[in-house]
Chains A and B, each alone.
Chain A
Amino acid sequence: MSADHTVNSVLPDEPEKATLEGKNKVLGFWLFLGGETILFGTLFATFIALRNQTNGGPTGHELFELPLTAAATVILLVSSMTSVMSVLAMHQHNLKKMQVWLTITAILGIAFLALEIYEFSHYVAEGHKMSSSAFGSAFYTLVGFHGGHVLFGVLWLITLQLQAIKKGLTVVTAPKFYVFSLYWHFVDLVWVFIFTVVYLMSIVGGKVG
């Protein structure tokens, strides 16, 4: 498969769907995302069930701050946008432009991680730890698992970019960028529910109670 893509060196429109292998990769990745949906869904359900079991420690209302959450949200949302732009650049067969957008995506991903590390260390200093309460365990498992996905995404993206420098844009490499873009959108989508369910609902919950 990988040998004959170089024979016809004219890149087709939407190169990610030009081969059966590419199509299968996209379909397989969607099935993976279906499984990821369930994985994060169960973590969300656990968090919702346990979020008030603070064991005498600080509550979400006391810990969470709107500006920090807003900053993380904007960073991730913009990075999702830049990964869309990279796919548009790929459809224009513009490798250089695609790499620029992907580099911005990677930088925003790293910025998000830095903010999350700062946030977690701040919480630990206030006595909100993985082992301090059921709320702590549920919080760090859910939000940390999402952060782990961002970290994996950044590492994956960097290796893909290095490969693109070496191999360029072909019908073999194009599906990889498309699939990465799907993954990155999914991570942003999960964050939409994290800022709603974890942060905003905790802040509202404190006001009611």
Chain B
Amino acid sequence: MSAHVSNESTHRTPKVKKSGAKAHLVTFIVSIVLTALAFIAVGYEVIPIGFTVPFIILLAIVQAAFQLFVWMHLDQKGHEFPRIGILMGVVVVAATVFTFVYWLW
């Protein structure tokens, strides 16, 4: 007796949300594009050098948000506590980075 998937007598087709795969692929393409933009901005100096750092950090945050909400399913129902948990982590990290950057040196 086993719950193995390939057990033919018990096999049935699961309901799979069709929109799922598309959103994941879109996130992959967005990630690739954002990453490429960051590398191009640094490698070819296409934007004013003073703006490069804020620009690439913004790109990283956008990419992180996409991956958290789509790939890691934070957008789905029942993820209220995970959302709070990650938000808490982000708040503490922001405070720590701010402190180290502006007060340590």
Contact = CB atoms under 8 A, between A and B. Distances in A.
Answer yes or no: do A and B interact.
yes
A93 B35 contact: no
Contacts of B68: 185, 189
Contacts, number: 170
Contact of A13 (B14, B78, B96): B14
Interface in B37-66: 38-39, 42-43, 45, 49-50, 52-53, 56-57, 59-60, 63-64
Contacts of B93: 37-38, 40-42, 44-45
A34 interface: yes
A40 B89 CA distance: 10
A37 B72 CA distance: 14
Given A46-B100, A185-B72, A6 B92 contact: no
A197 B64 CA distance: 14
Nearest to A193: B60
A42 B101 CA distance: 12
Given A9-B10, A13-B15, A196-B56, A49 B5 contact: no
B20 to A, nearest CB: 6
By CB atoms of chain A within 10 A, which of B3, B7, B15, B94 has the most?
A: B3
B101 A41 contact: no
Interface residues of B, number: 59
B32 to A, nearest CB: 7
A170 B3 contact: yes
Given A41-B89, A49-B101, A182-B72, A204 B5 contact: no
B103 to A, nearest CB: 9
Contacts of A207: 45, 49
B20 A11 contact: no
A205 to B, nearest CB: 8
B3 A6 contact: yes
A35 B86 CA distance: 8
A49 B67 CA distance: 27
Q: Size band of the A side of the interface? A: 35 or more
Q: Per DSSP, are chain A's interface residues mostly helix, strand or loop, or mixed? A: helix
A169 interface: yes
Contact of B104 (A44, A49, A188): A49
A10 interface: yes
A23 B14 CA distance: 19
Contacts of A200: 38-39, 42, 56
A168 B6 CA distance: 8
Given A41-B96, A94-B5, 17 more contacts: A8-B3, A13-B16, A17-B78, A26-B82, A37-B93, A38-B93, A45-B97, A49-B104, A69-B39, A81-B24, A93-B5, A185-B67, A186-B72, A196-B60, A197-B57, A200-B39, A203-B42
8 tightest A-B contacts by CB?
A41-B93, A37-B89, A168-B4, A30-B82, A34-B85, A45-B100, A170-B3, A34-B89
